[in-house]
Amino acid sequence: MIKANTSFFENKTYTVLALILPSLFLYFKSLKYDFTSMDEQWMILKNTSLLENWSSIKDAFTKPIAEVYYRPLFVISLIADYHFGKISPFVYHFTNLVFHLSCVFLLFRFLTLSQVSKKVAFAFALLFSVHPIVLHAVAWIPGRNDLMLCFFTLLSLINLNKFIIVGKTNFLILHFVFFICALFTKESAIILPFIYIATYYTFKGFSKKIMPLIASWLIISIAWFMLRNSIINYLLPIETNFLSSIKNFFLAFLLFIGKAIFPIKQSVLPTLKNSTVVVGISSICILVFATFKLGINNKKIAFLGLFIFIMMLIIPLWFGATKSSGEHYEHRLYTSLIGLFLFFSSLKFNPNSKTFNYVVSILMFSFAIKTFMRMDVYKNKMSFTESGIKEAPDYYLFYVTKGEDFYRKKDFNNALTFFNKAIELRSDKGDIYSNRGSANFSLGLIKEAIADFTQAINKSEFKMEYYLNRCIALNKINDTQNAMKI
């Protein structure tokens, strides 16, 4: 590590390069990765009619994503990528990496403005840059939502801190601009005003001067909420009862804090079923022990760090806790980590000691190796799917994707095996029955194919292809009369 009292930090170029080069080298191979089998398929590959027109920028602000999400700036970033590289994965991965590198530097600036020494801020920004838990946000293109949320959150906090320190209006204006950008990136940003109030209290204390700021944050939030509700009429259903949701919420919190401190048992689609909360409980015990053993330099700043960490998780945790599938994607931790590192930076330790240098170096090396070794999970559609089957064996979509791959290779027996497993997990999905029907038909199992196409029709909204496939299958066994009825 770098000695504290040197001219290193006085040279901004050296500082920036030293901050971004480790993660740049680490994630360089991700630039050659393809799209995965998940959200890129409908966000990019099946969405080119939207992405190819610059006029779609207006649509980004007036239409939801998948009828559920309102994330205009995320959509605009995809439109920009499409115009640079069409459907070349390189451009999308490059943009993700640029956002990550930017967040690394901004975290360093945020920590230094939060009264953290430059060496400590530098060390924690480096740890953040290679932390295995951020991999899902950087190497998986749809994880950009949280990269951008963190980017605008840090910019808003940095400018708020500058306004608190020097009182210049231009910093306050920039703060509001970046807060609005965060809202237009991801819905979780609605929680930011609580963090802004805590930040103001931490560094300035409460006074009447904060009231206009609170009023401004409230007006912006209400305006955004009304705009969003005018565009999205769909209410996300709560698929579990209230008590189960509360229980799942706290278990998911343990899951997330465990992965933030000990990034083990990672998954492309973590659920409470395929994860463990034991690590989370252990992590809390270690946090408490470290706090009492080392002590805290500034209790207000330490509290602010924990407050940021918890608050930025509330909406994602509740979203996952109320769904029957209960997925808790790792990229949702990305922005919360800035709070955890702020907390750690408030602990009493000597940044010039050999122990500090050894611990940071060991963690850097361990994190980088873990991230590099796991990164190939995101290499292409099949590597992602195979990891999904291994890490999330209770999620049907990975089996569907694997079955479709075997079907394209005309290995219909193996295709049938994976479609059977998918139906076992989700018997309500008509498209899986249609896929299995096609595999049965190719194997000459016509009666089974007819039964599957019938199930596909019964379990789906009207799709002409299902009726057509059943007609062809009926005709194959000379059941012309029933085929004609269709």
pLDDT digits (tens, 9 = 90+) for 317-368: 998 888 877 889 999 999 999 999 999 999 998 888 999 999 999 999 999 9
Query: Residues 417-446: what's their mean pLDDT?
Result: 93
Q: Does 66 score more than 80 pLDDT?
A: no
Q: Output the domain CATH number for residue 429.
A: 1.25.40.10
148 shares its domain with 235: yes
Is residue 58 classed exposed, middle or buried when 0-12, 13-18 and 19+ CB atoms within 10 A define those classes?
Answer: exposed
Spatial CA neighbour of 26 closest among 384, 367, 378, 337: 367
Task: Confirm whether 390 is domain-assigned.
Answer: no
Q: 474 to each of 361, 416, 447, 464, 477, how far by Cα in Å?
A: 67, 20, 8, 15, 6
Query: Residues 420-424: what's their mean pLDDT?
Result: 95
**Among candidate residues 359, 381, 403, the one where a domain is terminated:** 381
Per the structure block, which two tokens stand in for 9?
Answer: 């930090």
Cβ 308 vs Cβ 338: under 8 Å: yes
Cβ 179 vs Cβ 217: under 8 Å: yes
**Among candidate residues 381, 407, 441, the one where a domain is terminated:** 381
Predicted confidence at residue 385, as pLDDT, reads: 95
Task: Confirm whether 3 is domain-assigned.
Answer: no
Q: 73 to each of 64, 98, 150, 429, 442, how far by Cα in Å?
A: 12, 16, 13, 32, 45
Count the domains in the chain. 2
Contacts 24+ apart (CB under 8 A), 174-179: 176/216, 176/220, 178/152, 178/153, 179/152, 179/217, 179/220
327 shares its domain with 461: no
Residue 149 confidence class, pLDDT cut points 50, 70, 90 = very high
User: Residue type for 149, please?
Assistant: L
Residue 157 confidence class, pLDDT cut points 50, 70, 90 = very high
477 shares its domain with 415: yes
195 shares its domain with 172: yes
Residue 210 confidence class, pLDDT cut points 50, 70, 90 = very high
Cβ 260 vs Cβ 281: under 8 Å: no
256 shares its domain with 335: yes
Percentages helix, strand, coil for the chain (3-state, rounded to 5) are: 75, 0, 25
276 shares its domain with 405: no
Could you give phi then psi for residue 69, rounded to 5 degrees? -105, 145
Instruction: Report the distance separating Cα 376 and Cα 417, nearest Å.
Output: 26
Per the structure block, which two tokens stand in for 412?
Answer: 């219909």
Query: Residues 367-392: what's their mean pLDDT?
Result: 96
Residue 9 confidence class, pLDDT cut points 50, 70, 90 = confident
Cα 315 to the chain's mean position, in Å?
Answer: 13
Task: Confirm whether 265 is domain-assigned.
Answer: yes
pLDDT digits (tens, 9 = 90+) for 87-116: 999 999 999 999 999 999 999 999 999 999
Instruction: Report the distance separating Cα 362 and Cα 383, nearest Å.
Output: 29
What residues have CB less than 8 Å from 367, skipping those under 6 apart? Answer: 127, 130, 131, 132, 263
Predicted confidence at residue 234, as pLDDT, reads: 66
What does the mean pLDDT of the chain come to?
A: 92
353 shares its domain with 420: no
Per the structure block, which two tokens stand in for 256?
Answer: 């997330």
How is 227-260 classified by DSSP, letter by letter?
A: HHHHH--PPPP--S-HHHHHHHHHHHHHHHHHHH
Query: Residues 403-418: what's their mean pLDDT?
Result: 95
Other residues' Cβ atoms within 10 Å of the Cβ of residue 49:
8
Across 284-405, the runs of DSSP E, i.e. the strands, are none
Predicted confidence at residue 68, as pLDDT, reads: 81
Task: Confirm whether 387 is domain-assigned.
Answer: no
407 shares its domain with 371: no
Residue 477 confidence class, pLDDT cut points 50, 70, 90 = confident
Q: Which domain holds residue 76?
A: 8-381
Q: Does 462 score more than 90 pLDDT?
A: no
